[in-house]
Amino acid sequence: MRTMREIADALALEKYPPRWDALAEHVRAGTLPEDDSFLTQSWIREAAGFAVPLDGMLDSVLEGAAAIREIAALRDWTVLLALAMRDRTAFNAERRMLVLPKAPAGTPPLAYEMAPCLGLMTQAAPSVERMRERGVPEDVIGPTLRNTLDCLEVFQLRYGRPGMDMHYFGWSQGFADGRILQIGSLQFEAAARFGHTVALPDRTIGPDDPVIHVHIPMGADIGHEARHAAYGRARTIFAKSFPEYRFRAFACHSWLMDPTLAALLPDSRIAAFQGEFIRLPDRRKGGAVYEYVFIGDWPTLESLPENTRLERALKKWYLQGNTIDEMLGVMPF
């Protein structure tokens, strides 16, 4: 293995976590294993059968791993990524210093865009153990492990090719840590602090109160029966699996909280979903509509599709010069 500085220079990385210098030196000295077995077909196929469902993405992941092994610096970087991720506390603390390698101009991007996915896959088995230690039910662990496949599929929808970028890689760390669980049609995340204050007639939820964040996967069923079944089970599971926290509420920071959606679609599931939350006045401009509704490359607003009622309503709204903002909602227990 090269030094980390040599790897960074070969991959044109502008920065990297300082801890990686020591990791590379430990590998070079033989005090850490130079283990790239997770880049082999046998390892990937076994992982896909045990803990990382890949379905139709398996061939692309196999092809990407083979391509990584042909690029020495990228192979070394991916090995160090897998080693770095073993220490979850250190890795989460240094993520802002992490830059993913990019393919040089004219080079097929598959190897570079599969490297973070392969590194992430090495955390699948430890993630299962972390969830089991917390008493997470097996029928929740299985769906939770599908996050890697979900990220690969959404990336392909957005860019027309399989892979993973920093957005999806960073999002996936909550699943690797066992903090985010797929329960029913929704995803729930343990948060030690709410970070805001909501004064209600009978109580106040303060910034230091633990909450459970609600995330809505693309295409999730947010109908009344599905979402309330998920809420009920999430409260039970999180109370048991995270006894160190006394959760006070569900919180949801999403474009689905924008009240404009209820005005545009007053009898919709979206209107019913957001209507159960108390919204905070803060708004944040965001492009979530282009991540979850208008996925892909649309050169003009006029070219946006109109295949669904939601698409038609949003397109008309945006053509009028408006936007949908991200807002925070809270649902007290």
Q: Specify the pLDDT at position 282.
A: 81
Find residue 279's DSSP bridge partners: 329
Q: How confident is the model over 212-221, as pLDDT tens digits?
A: 999 999 989 9
Q: Specify the pLDDT at position 296.
A: 84
Closest to 118 (Cα-Cα) out of 80, 158, 78, 58: 78
| Token pair belonging to 136 | 């997470």
Closest to 230 (Cα-Cα) out of 273, 286, 284: 273
Q: Specify the pLDDT at position 257.
A: 97
Alpha carbons 189 and 178: distance in angstroms, whole number: 9
Q: Specify the pLDDT at position 51.
A: 81
Angle at CA of residue 249, ends 245 and 253, nearest 5°: 110
Q: Specify the pLDDT at position 84.
A: 98
Q: DSSP code of 60?
A: H
Q: How confident is the model over 53-78, as pLDDT tens digits?
A: 999 999 999 999 999 999 999 999 99
Q: Specify the pLDDT at position 306.
A: 95
Q: Specify the pLDDT at position 63.
A: 98
* Annotated domain spans of the chain: 1-174
Question: Nearest 5°: phi and psi at 33?
Answer: -75, 140
**The 211-215 sheet, strands edge to edge:** 180-183, 186-191, 211-215, 249-254, 326-332, 278-284
H or E element in which residue 88 lies: helix 88-94
Residue ranges of the chain with per-residue pLDDT less than 50: none
Q: Specify the pLDDT at position 287.
A: 85
- Please give the full DSSP string across 303-327, using - where no structure is assigned: GS---SHHHHHHHHHHHTT----EE
Q: Specify the pLDDT at position 172.
A: 97
Q: Specify the pLDDT at position 242.
A: 97
